[in-house]
Amino acid sequence: MASAKLIKKKKRKMLFRGYVTIFFCISLITFVASRIALKSYNYGLSIQAGNAEQEVRELRKTVSSLETEIYKLQDRDRVMAVAEKEGIKTNQEQVIIIEEEKNE
């Protein structure tokens, strides 16, 4: 009979080249993933900035139209017309003008 020999597996030591290859692969995957994530984040920020600019433009238009309306409502002729329509008359007889004395 033949004697059975036990074969021991040798533990393979990973060489420096193997470590460098694994590190390079991990670095490449991390680089690609972070680049994709940053591009999508940048795209989202640009959409938010565009929406904010649009909202600012709309608010400026609203403010401008409200200012125009305020000026129209403050017009003396309009106020007088509304007062006369309601039956309110101006009483110029009770207006007293006081002149300031000049102290020299």
73 lies in some domain: yes
Question: Domain tally for the chain?
Answer: 1
Q: Is residue 97 in some structural domain?
A: no
Please give the residue range of the domain that contains residue 67.
16-88
Decide if 35 is inside a domain.
Answer: yes
- What residues contact 89, with CB distance under 8 A and at least 6 apart? 83
- Which token pair is 92? 């110029």
Considering the entire predicted model, what is its pTM?
A: 0.51
Is pLDDT above 70 for 12?
no
Which residue has better confidence, 6 or 62? 62
d(CA 64, CA 66): 5
Q: Is the pLDDT of residue 94 over 70?
A: no
Q: Is residue 103 part of a domain?
A: no
